[in-house]
């Protein structure tokens, strides 16, 4: 890492309290524009809660979140998305009765005002962006299939495509390879790496082979607190992180995922 650019997202001392259970305790995290960050940690570490907090699905009890120099802690979900953050959910959140292309076009709408929807015309710019994403996620010949009929891996890619189609500056990808075989996992890693020139990406996963393929800066979360930050090699070598995973081998992790 050379001279650090101004962070695109900053979480400062964020605590999330679910009726006494602290899902996140005093978490501070900053993400750089167009960079990759991988968030790992055992089940229940608070990884998804962290995503939920950024996107406004869960409200922190204390602390603040700043995105592009604007405090977004109390904005409505769609307002946060409009500022330029979009999230992929853990279980594929595609729109099942819409075709692949329609899913992407709903995501790619530049002007999100509902007044603009009383037309059958799709702006050329949005259509082109959807077409190029369709190609990127390898679903060009599946464009008219409804999303419910896609294979599991295809749904995951479609949702990544939808998130990319919003043209958000920060993408949060929650377990993008859940339920995928090794080959698809590798393709997903390549897909994510190809996004970095344009978007900052935060990936949650616990499949270590996938994390290694991404080879990004890693943050380890444990019991709602940040345990360690560093490169993949540093994290691998860290005894504390190994202890947290209770000596479980990578293969077990992959199987658990």
The nearest distance, CB 56 to another protein, in angstroms, is: 9
One of 72, 150, 162, 232 touching another protein (CB under 8 A): 162
Structure token pair of residue 50: 């962290």
- Alpha-carbon distances, residue 225 vs 36, 153, 161, 207 (angstroms): 20, 31, 31, 20
Does residue 89 touch another protein according to CB under 8 A? Answer: yes
Does residue 102 touch another protein according to CB under 8 A? Answer: yes
Does residue 148 touch another protein according to CB under 8 A? Answer: yes
One of 64, 109, 127, 198 touching another protein (CB under 8 A): 109
Cβ-based neighbour number of residue 24 at 10 Å: 27
Report the residue count for the chain.
257
The nearest distance, CB 174 to another protein, in angstroms, is: 11
Does residue 131 touch another protein according to CB under 8 A? Answer: no
The nearest distance, CB 84 to another protein, in angstroms, is: 9
Return the residue matching tokens 């409505």: 76
How many residues touch another protein under the rule CB under 8 A: the total is 34
Q: Where are the beta strands (DSSP E) in 72-122?
A: 85-88
The nearest distance, CB 146 to another protein, in angstroms, is: 4
Q: What mask of x and - would describe binding to another protein in positions 195 to 234, judged by CB under 8 A?
A: ----------------------------------------
Does residue 4 touch another protein according to CB under 8 A? Answer: no
H/E element holding 184? helix 182-195
Residues 22-81 touching another protein, rule: CB under 8 A, are 55, 57, 77-78, 81
Summarize as ranges the residues that interact with another protein (CB under 8 A): 55, 57, 77-78, 81-82, 86-87, 89, 93-99, 102, 105-107, 109, 112, 114, 116-120, 122, 146, 148-149, 162, 166
């Amino acid at each position: 890492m050379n001279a650090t650019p101004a962070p695109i997202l900053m979480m400062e001392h964020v605590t999330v309290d679910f009726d006494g259970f602290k899902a996140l305790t005093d978490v501070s995290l900053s993400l750089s524009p167009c960079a990759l960050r991988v968030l790992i940690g055992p089940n229940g570490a608070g990884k998804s809660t962290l995503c939920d907090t950024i996107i406004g699905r869960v409200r922190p009890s204390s602390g603040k979140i700043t995105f592009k120099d604007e405090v977004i802690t109390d904005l409505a979900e769609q307002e946060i998305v409009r500022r330029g953050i979009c999230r992929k959910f853990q279980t594929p959140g595609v729109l099942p009765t819409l075709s692949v292309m329609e899913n992407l076009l709903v995501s790619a709408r530049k002007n999100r005002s509902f007044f603009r929807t009383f037309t059958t015309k799709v702006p050329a710019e949005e259509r082109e962006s959807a077409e190029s994403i369709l190609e990127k996620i390898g679903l060009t010949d599946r464009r008219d299939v409804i999303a419910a009929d896609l294979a599991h891996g295809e749904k995951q890619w479609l949702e990544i495509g939808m998130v990319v189609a919003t043209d958000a500056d920060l993408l949060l990808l929650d377990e993008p390879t859940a339920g995928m075989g090794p080959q698809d996992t590798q393709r997903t890693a390549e897909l994510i790496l190809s996004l970095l020139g344009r978007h900052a990406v935060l990936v949650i996963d616990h499949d270590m082979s996938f994390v290694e393929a991404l080879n990004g800066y890693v943050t380890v979360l444990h019991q709602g607190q940040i345990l360690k930050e560093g490169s993949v090699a540093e994290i691998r070598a860290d005894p504390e992180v190994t202890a947290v995973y209770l000596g479980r081998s990578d293969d077990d992790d992959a199987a658990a995922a």
